[in-house]
């Protein structure tokens, strides 16, 4: 049977020497190998921590798999050549560029010279329900003086994340920097974002339960997937559940990344409802009914190493944007 990739994309390249090692490699080794190939195809530097997050593996597992492939001579570390052009430094996020601390003198200066900040600090403490310590005052000062956020903005953040979601001020600060990096810097833009967040969390709770995520925060990639499902694809929960069931049937576990590849494919094929999915699954056999030979071939299982096939399926959806 001649197979080809369904996507019109540049295929990943793997060395033929890895084929002899498939029986010795476990699922993690295969996933890491595909990730290495993807990094090479995109001209990116392989990073164990990034690979661990993308592949949902422990960083120790990733390093162990790299050691396996390097020991087998399939991959090698490339050292930078002298005189080679250096990559331009990446733009640091606002959160990393800020001053690490504002000392007591600086805090006193802001409080003494800016009456609006003093009023904001009083209202922030009333909203939160306790008297801030020096570190917490420092957080409010950074948001006010460095990010130039209005008092209305900061109080809305405290009300949303500290009061209603019972998060610490440090968490609220991290979210504020994240929003600022995305251009959400006015009270009006924040109000719209918080309304979206309320709707998102309402549906996300059902998806978290469906995929057995528990109480942990969604990763940035998982949040991106759910945002696409809700806002871009406009899928209802029943369609998402079908993707969940297909994911578990194909991989043996719940994976938002894998389900994301299924839902993206359905969206690109014009699927909108459960009925559309059912019609799609019936369509292919009907087209082949007049050709018994093709039908027989279609019902046969692929003669491919099972572990490698699963690794391909799992890694297909974990492409970084």
Q: Two tokens at 319?
A: 């492409």
Q: Which two tokens mark 9?
A: 């994309």
Same domain, 278 and 235: yes
Mean of per-residue pLDDT scores for the chain: 80
| 237 and 276 in a common domain | yes
Could you give the CA distance from residue 272 to residue 109 in angstroms, rounded to a whole number?
58
CB-count burial class (<10 Å; 0-12, 13-18, 19+) for 152: middle
pLDDT band of 302, cuts 50, 70, 90: very low
Which CATH number does the domain housing residue 262 bear?
A: 1.10.10.630
224-278 pLDDT tens trace:
999 999 999 999 999 999 999 999 998 888 889 899 999 999 999 998 999 998 8
Residue 145 and residue 223 in one domain: no
Q: Which domain holds residue 52?
A: 16-71
Note whether residue 304 is domain-resident: no
Closest CA to 184 of 234, 150, 224, 145: 150
**Tokens found for residue 90:** 């990446």
CB 187 within 8 Å of CB 153: yes
Q: What is the pTM of this model?
A: 0.53
pLDDT, tens only, 157-201: 999 999 999 999 999 999 999 999 999 999 999 999 999 999 998
Q: Say if 317 falls within a structural domain.
A: no
Q: Give the pLDDT confidence score for residue 306 in this predicted structure.
A: 53
Structural domain contains residue 91: no
Of 185, 202, 228, the position where a domain reaches its end is 185
Tokens for 136?
């917490």
Query: Over 90: is that where the pLDDT of 103 sits?
Result: no
Whether 204 is covered by a domain: the verdict is no
Domain assignment present for residue 138? The answer is yes
| Domain membership flag for residue 21 | yes
Tally of domains within the chain: 3
Tell me the angle at which helices 48-55 and 27-42 cross, rounded to the nearest 10 degrees. 120
- Evaluate whether residue 128 is within a structural domain: yes
Q: Is residue 212 part of a domain?
A: no
- Pick the closest to residue 247 from 301, 211, 283, 299 (CA basis): 211
């Amino acid at each position: 049977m001649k197979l080809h990739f369904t996507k019109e994309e540049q295929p990943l390249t793997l060395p033929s020497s890895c084929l002899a090692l498939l029986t010795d490699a476990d699922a993690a080794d295969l996933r890491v190998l595909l990730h290495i190939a993807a990094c090479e195809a995109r001209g990116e530097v392989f990073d164990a921590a990034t690979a661990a997050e993308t592949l949902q593996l422990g960083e120790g597992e990733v390093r162990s798999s790299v050691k396996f492939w390097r020991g087998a001579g399939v991959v090698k570390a490339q050292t930078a050549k002298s005189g080679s052009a250096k990559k331009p430094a990446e733009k640091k996020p606002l959160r990393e560029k800020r001053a690490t601390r504002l000392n007591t003198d600086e805090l006193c200066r802001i409080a003494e010279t800016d009456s609006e900040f003093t009023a904001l600090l009083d209202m922030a403490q009333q909203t939160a329900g306790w008297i801030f310590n020096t570190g917490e005052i420092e957080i409010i000062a950074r948001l006010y003086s460095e990010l130039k956020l209005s008092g209305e903005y900061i109080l809305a953040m405290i009300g949303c994340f500290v009061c209603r979601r019972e998060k610490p001020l440090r968490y609220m600060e991290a979210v504020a920097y994240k929003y600022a990096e995305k251009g959400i810097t006015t009270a009006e833009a924040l109000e719209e974002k918080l309304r979206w967040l309320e709707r998102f969390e309402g549906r996300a709770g059902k998806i978290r339960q469906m995929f057995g995520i528990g109480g942990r925060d969604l990763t940035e990639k998982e949040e991106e997937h759910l945002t696409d499902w809700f806002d871009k694809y406009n899928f209802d929960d029943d369609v998402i559940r079908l993707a969940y069931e297909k994911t578990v049937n194909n991989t043996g576990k719940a994976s938002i990344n894998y389900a994301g590849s299924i839902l993206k494919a359905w969206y690109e094929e014009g699927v909108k409802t459960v009925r559309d999915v059912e019609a799609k699954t019936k369509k292919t056999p009907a087209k082949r009914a007049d050709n018994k030979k093709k039908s027989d071939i279609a019902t046969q299982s692929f003669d491919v190493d099972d572990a490698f096939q699963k690794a391909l399926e799992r890694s297909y959806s974990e492409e970084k944007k």
